[in-house]
Amino acid sequence: MASGEEEGGVDEKETNNKKRTKGAIATAWLTVYNIAMTAGWLVLAVAMLRYYLQKGSHKGLYRNIAKTLKFFQTFALLEVGHCAIGIVRTSVIVTGVQVCSRIFMVWFITNSIRQVQNEESVILFVVVWTVTEITRYSFYTFNLLNHLPYFIKWARYNMFIVMYPLGVVGELLTIHAALPYVRRSGMYSLRLPNKYNVSFDYYYFLIIVMLSYIPLFPQLYFHMLRQRRRVLHGEIIVEKDE
């Protein structure tokens, strides 16, 4: 009987050690990831500021930063994986919608339709994304290191109140500006008859995407407001990434 208890105790210790090891590895990876993403968006911010100071105009700015933006925004797909494997306590669906909607804006709107790249709305959402991501990733980094400055915590849970709606406005105006070019070119559309016997109109798809903001934006916005109330009222922060 005693031997069985000792064996059980050894197994429990081994299990706890494995959990601690996995937890340490996950924390180390998330720290490296968030530092890298903070640095990446800082590079993007500096590049935008330098371009505007040199040129005095936003024309051509997007093309100048496009590679950096596409790389770091696409790299954020890892966050969906973080949620899926459980190293981050955030909904896979919420994270997936947020990340994939941005990737869609980058690759299938702004990158694909060059005529909209000089629109002011593009610069609006890119600037909003940049400020938001620098704040968000630096928040996660310091939180993981257990040294979270109050001003970063404050910025994380207050700036989105203005930034989030501004970003949505920029995205919607950009999609709207793209519609005439999509309709004329027929890009990404599939007309009947064809061997697949399937019809797809990218123009109407973009209209549906714009309409989807009506139910999705309030849900995500109020989700952030609920988080803000919990954190600023002194409850324990359990998130490490989002």
Q: What is the mean pLDDT of each run of 10 residues along the chain (242 residues)?
A: 52 61 90 98 98 95 97 97 92 92 97 97 98 97 94 94 97 98 95 86 97 93 89 56 44
| pLDDT for position 196 | 83
| pLDDT for position 234 | 58
The ranges assigned to domains in the chain are 23-233
- Three-state SS annotation for 141-182: HHHHCCCCCHHHHHHHCCCHHHHHHHHHHHHHHHHHHHHHHH
| pLDDT for position 32 | 97
| pLDDT for position 230 | 87
Residues 83, 240 contacting (CB under 8 angstroms):
no
Residues 45, 72 contacting (CB under 8 angstroms):
no
Residues 47, 72 contacting (CB under 8 angstroms):
no
Q: From 77, 219, 242, select the one nearest 157 (Cα to Cα).
A: 242
Which string of b and e fits 125-143 if b means at least 16 CB within 10 Å?
bbbbbbbbbbbbbbbbbbb
Q: From 123, 103, 125, select the one nearest 60 (Cα to Cα).
A: 123
Contacts of 59 (CB under 8 A, 6+ apart): 118
Q: Residues with catalytic annotation?
A: 164, 171
First to last CA, the chain: 47
